[in-house]
Amino acid sequence: MSVAANVSAGAHAHDEHHEHKENFITKYIFSTDHKMIGKQFLLTGMLWALIGGFLSVIFRLQLGFPEMKLEWLRPLLGEWIQVDGSLDPEFYLALVTMHGTIMVFFVLTAGLSGTFSNFLIPLQIGARDMASGFMNMLSYWFFFLSSVIMLTSLFIETGPAAGGWVVYPPLSALPQAIQGSGLGMTLWLVAMVFFIVSSLLGGINYIATVINLRTKGMSFSRLPLTIWAFFLTAVIGLLSFPVLFAAALLLVFDRSFGTSFYLSDIYIQGEALPNMGGSPILYQHLFWFLGHPEVYIVLLPALGITSEIIATNSRKPIFGYKAMIISMLGITVLSFVVWAHHMFVSGLNPFLGSIFMFLTLIIAVPSAVKVFNYLTTLWKGNIIFTPAMLFSIGLVSFFISGGLTGIFLGNSAIDIQLHDTYFVVAHFHLVMGSASFFGLMAGVYHWFPKMFGKMMDAKLGYIHFWLTFVGVYMVFFPMHYIGIAGFPRRYYSWSNFEFANSFTDLNMFVSVAAILTFVAQFVFLFNFFWSMYRGKKAPLNPWRSNTLEWTTPLEPVHGNWPGEIPTVYRWPYDYSKPGAEEDFIPQTVPYSQTPESNLPHEQQFVDEEREDAADDVVVANEHKH
Amino acid sequence: MLGFIIGIGVLLLISILLMIFRIQSLVSVVKGSDKKRATGSNKWNAALGMIFLLGTGFLFFWYSFKEFDNYQLPVASEHGVVTDGLFWTTMAVTGIVFVITHILLFWFGYKYQYKENGKALYYPDNNKLELIWTVVPAVVLALLIFTGWRAWVDITEKAPEGSEEVEIMGYQFAWAVRYPGEDKKIGDYDFRLIDGSNQFGMDLTDESSLDDFVAPNVMVLPKGKPVLFKIRSRDVLHSVFAPHFRLKMDAVPGMPTRFWFTPTKTTAEMREETGNPDFTYEIACTEVCGRSHFAMRYRVEVVEPAEYEAWLAKQSSWLSQNPEYMEKVPDDLKGVAQVIVDQEKIIQK
């Protein structure tokens, strides 16, 4: 297997490799290198995940142990712990809101897409860097700015936004309705505006890079599924985030400039407000026009990552490569026409509800296809359970469990009862939250050797996986029962209601499981930072994978490949090809070198390769003259 | 002192764990297992997958059957029976898929775990299979949706003629309920007319509002008759959720909404069915609305129609209870208003 050698031997004199003089600031802070920016997103995302997770631990304490005295949290939360040692109900709502906002946007959008789109797109398509390194840097720093503002809002006196992560007006528009709708909500909106800017700058870059900077031979039909997923994710983001921007802008107008886009007929705190003619439903339409595609912005990259990891570690081609792409395309398009299923009982015209019910359940079909394809990829494989592989299998499990409950919720007649109950909480935490989180984890374990040149400890990875996998199910599976029993979301306590005055034991169980799962993440953190400095040096291609990133040096330099960028000759999933000596054939190996394993229809590629090579010689000769 | 001891304990525990971690990684280097493509852990992980499958599979079925009566709320409306049927049909279909796919997922993991001399099957695609598992889910889903859609259309249809109309208004943080009175018509309102006593903003220039009355602290409904909830909010979003009636609809400021249903069991019957002598129908709020969102409880009592009529007759109009608002009634309606108030006085006696 002397392919890599071949490629670098063929390196021309016009070497694009030029070493920059870098200082600490240009290398680690204002870096324009996609790999460093990816790592910046990863570390910031991890920090946010810890904060978001910690917030959920606090409110799970309240839900599982309503009698508990929380004075010990006073140094951190101050007045939000009431005199009798209980959590302030308004701060409870703020916690829920910030947990949602942080997890959806800062962890699973920026932390996942930001990390892996940045890190992997140039490496896997064979590019020196992103189309615009500068824009890429801006993307991170707008995200950073947004993070700082959002974080600040946690510590102000009136508390952060508290109207749920969807921040529906009028609640989010009226500071007199809830304290969090004062300065906290303003900061939320400002932070989200910067977040959207960051997201768009990133997205435009990903799209431009995938379209324009693919190396020779890397046609769209040879792209790894990771890249397809990142590409389509960026397209979804580019089309939907501006709509959130519009929604936020109108909300800013209503809050600060006396307009009535969302406000009408309001009498609050003994005063009738002058606003007339606005519609809170308008906000919901605009919000969910982003909100639903956002689910796929979070999920698709995770699905792309697992497609790659499952194929590699099953030592089998991903089953139905084309079907996987078509279903992702289907999901991309359909994700824009299902938003109103979040609004079946919002007062929406029931006819519109019918339309959205049909559209919603159509989107279940490509999702089902993906699951069956994953299962068939495992079938008759030669499966190696790396931590990344385990997390990918975990993702498939969550995707099934959470996806199936979507069929209940997408059915408007059934949704009447289940809407805004814990059934919904269970559903989206499994299908979107945990599944995407597992995708993120799988990605970190899999590409850690490429990021830091070191191996993570596998045993700790196994421990981390099993604790988290079992923990996540212990947290979210019981919520289905609580939801079927009708327990509403965003409730500080259920004891006011007779119908919801049970299952205290189950809620306690969920809370304990949530805390254990949170603690288990420190196993990962230890492994991550320990391995970064003290881990075993990684081999060049530790998972014996086909994709291009493993042809770079152990720690890729600025520009990724020291010599010429390798040419791609085949798709990325030639694992265990009959006749081949090894159980993998990297994308850089020409068909002409593998006569023993070429399939009948692949013989023509050998001829094409010859013609291409001849052309190259001609071109090179012309250059000389 | 206790905190100090706990701190020491935690530190000790962490250092022991670190030690174990170091030892095991050194041992694996000595054994050379870190060079192998798949170590003994591979078997363990495959086996753990099967254990997980069997263990959680057992827990899932055991708990679902054992606790059925606790999480399945008794249903007390006509359409609720239909949607519950849909729910459990969907549960059966998805349950089968859930179990089968999970068995395959972990069983494949176990069966096809790495073997030194094994080779995976090169099996990149099969259009026939793809077609089957595109079409079959599509057909099954279509059937589920179609039945759901039929139910949805029936539920959201216009309320039948002669439905009992009740207005329910959400505000921070309670519900207020208004009945139409003898004329069976709920009067107009305007949020600018709201004040301390007139919490609905009732427009007394509208004749039909003169005999409207506000429910004391419980909503009484007749069994077996269609009831139309006219839902609104006067501040932020709320959502009317009556779990036993399988009813939910947002209350939106500036946009009245509605939901009609037919209660099928009186409160007394429910007390017998559930064996709970204190059973009460409840309304909760399911759209986050602020500090006391979790405390917006309202009670509903379902009674036999005759008892309902008797209850209605006993109620006195809001106007008669707030005579100072008589001056807001325009002159041409004052006569009508006076008649209503007087009549009620006779009935009360």
Chain segment A374-421, per-residue pLDDT in tens = 999 999 999 999 999 999 999 999 999 999 999 999 999 999 999 999
Question: Residue B131 in 3-state DSSP?
Answer: helix
Widest CA span in chain B? 103
pLDDT of res. B19: 82
Question: pLDDT grade, residue A5 (50/70/90)?
Answer: very low
Q: Which strands form B238-242's sheet, in the order they lie side by side?
A: B218-222, B298-303, B281-285, B238-242, B247-251
Do the beta carbons of residue B153 and residue B146 sit within 8 Å? Answer: no
pLDDT of res. B34: 64
pLDDT of res. B154: 95
Q: Which residues of B touch A101 (CB under 8 A)?
A: none
User: Does residue A18 have a pLDDT over 60?
Assistant: no
- Asked if the C-beta of A612 comes within 8 angstroms of chain B's C-beta atoms, the answer is no
Question: pLDDT grade, residue A337 (50/70/90)?
Answer: very high
How far does A576 lie from chain B, in Å, by closest CA?
6
pLDDT of res. B301: 96
Show the tokens assigned to A328. Answer: 């992702």
pLDDT in tens, A42-89: 999 999 999 999 999 999 999 999 988 998 999 889 889 999 999 999
Q: What is the dihedral of CA B109, B115, B119, B123, to 10 degrees?
A: 0
DSSP bridge partners of B220: B301
CA distance A404 to A398: 10
Q: Estimate to the nearest angstrom the gap between the alpha carbon of A590 and the chain centroid.
A: 34
User: Does residue A11 have a pLDDT over 50?
Assistant: no
Show the tokens assigned to B281. Answer: 């129908």
User: Does residue A134 have a pLDDT over 80?
Assistant: yes
* Cα→Cα distances A441→A105, A250, A468, A572, B53, Å: 17, 37, 11, 22, 22
Q: Which residues of A touch B46 (CB under 8 A)?
A: 383, 385
Question: Do the Cβ atoms of B122 and A576 come within 8 Å?
Answer: yes
pLDDT < 50: residue spans in chain B: none
pLDDT in tens, A202-239: 999 999 999 999 999 999 999 999 999 999 999 999 99
pLDDT of res. B193: 94
Do the beta carbons of residue B301 and residue B281 sit within 8 Å? Answer: yes
Query: Which residue of chain A has the CA closest to B55?
Result: A470
DSSP bridge partners of B113: A383
pLDDT higher at A17 or A461: A461
pLDDT of res. B348: 60
User: Does residue A605 have a pLDDT over 90?
Assistant: no
Q: Which residues of A touch B196 (CB under 8 A)?
A: 270
pLDDT of res. A622: 63
DSSP bridge partners of B167: B178, B230
- Nearest CA to A92 out of A57, A132, A43 is that of A57
Task: Quickly tell me which residue has 């036993």 as its tokens.
Answer: B244
pLDDT of res. A557: 87
User: Does residue A249 have a pLDDT over 60?
Assistant: yes
Beta strands B227-233; B164-171: pairing state: parallel
Query: Which residue of chain A has the CA closest to B292?
Result: A89
Residues 6+ apart with CB under 8 A from A40: A31, A140
The phi, psi pair for B161, rounded to 5°, reads -55, 145
Show the tokens assigned to A64. Answer: 């599982």
Neighbours of B125 (CB within 10 A): 17
User: Does residue A604 have a pLDDT over 90?
Assistant: no
Is the C-alpha dihedral spanning B323, B329, B334, B338 positive or negative? negative
The phi, psi pair for A568, rounded to 5°, reads -105, 135
Task: Quickly tell me which residue has 């921070």 as its tokens.
Answer: B172
pLDDT of res. A1: 36
Question: Do the Cβ atoms of A170 and B278 come within 8 Å?
Answer: no
Q: Assess: ipTM above 0.85.
A: yes
Which run of H or E residues covers position B96? helix B78-111
DSSP secondary structure letter of residue A105: I
Q: Which residues of A touch B148 (CB under 8 A)?
A: 357, 411-414
Question: Do the Cβ atoms of A317 and B52 come within 8 Å?
Answer: no
pLDDT of res. B9: 87
Question: Do the Cβ atoms of A416 and B247 come within 8 Å?
Answer: yes
Mean pLDDT of the A185-199 span: 97
Q: Looking at chain A from residue 400 to 459, which residues have their Cβ under 8 Å from any Cβ of chain B?
A: 400-401, 404-405, 407-408, 411-414, 416-417, 419-421, 457-459
pLDDT of res. A19: 53
Query: Which residue of chain B has the CA closest to A480?
Result: B71
Show the tokens assigned to A202. Answer: 């990133």
Nearest CB partner across the interface for B248, out of A345, A364, A371: A345
Question: pLDDT grade, residue A514 (50/70/90)?
Answer: very high
Show the tokens assigned to A197. Answer: 């800017």
Question: Which CATH number does B164-348 carry?
Answer: 2.60.40.420
- Domain chopping of chain B, boundaries: 41-111+128-157, 164-348
CA distance A134 to A145: 16
What is the C-alpha R_g of chain A?
Answer: 26
pLDDT in tens, B9-37: 888 888 888 888 888 778 877 777 666 77
pLDDT of res. B100: 96
Question: Do the Cβ atoms of A383 and B46 come within 8 Å?
Answer: yes
pLDDT in tens, A449-459: 999 999 999 99
- Nearest CA to B240 out of B186, B302, B286 is that of B286
Ramachandran class of B224: left when φ > 0, alpha when ψ lies in -120 to 50, beta otherwise: left
Question: Do the Cβ atoms of B236 and A170 come within 8 Å?
Answer: yes
pLDDT of res. A7: 42
Task: Quickly tell me which residue has 């600490």 as its tokens.
Answer: A24
Residues 6+ apart with CB under 8 A from B256: B230, B231, B232
Domains and CATH numbers, chain A: 3-13+32-534 (1.20.210.10)
pLDDT of res. A560: 92
How far does A86 lie from chain B, in Å, by closest CA?
14
Q: Estimate to the nearest angstrom the gap between the alpha carbon of B169 and the chain centroid.
A: 18
pLDDT in tens, A417-436: 999 999 999 999 999 999 99
- Nearest CA to B240 out of B224, B254, B257 is that of B257
pLDDT averaged over every residue in chain A = 92
Nearest CB partner across the interface for B297, out of A407, A420, A496: A496
pLDDT of res. B343: 77
pLDDT of res. A361: 84
Q: Looking at chain A from residue 576 to 605, which residues have their Cβ under 8 Å from any Cβ of chain B?
A: 576-578, 583
Do the beta carbons of residue A116 and residue A305 sit within 8 Å? Answer: yes
Question: Do the Cβ atoms of A368 and B290 come within 8 Å?
Answer: no
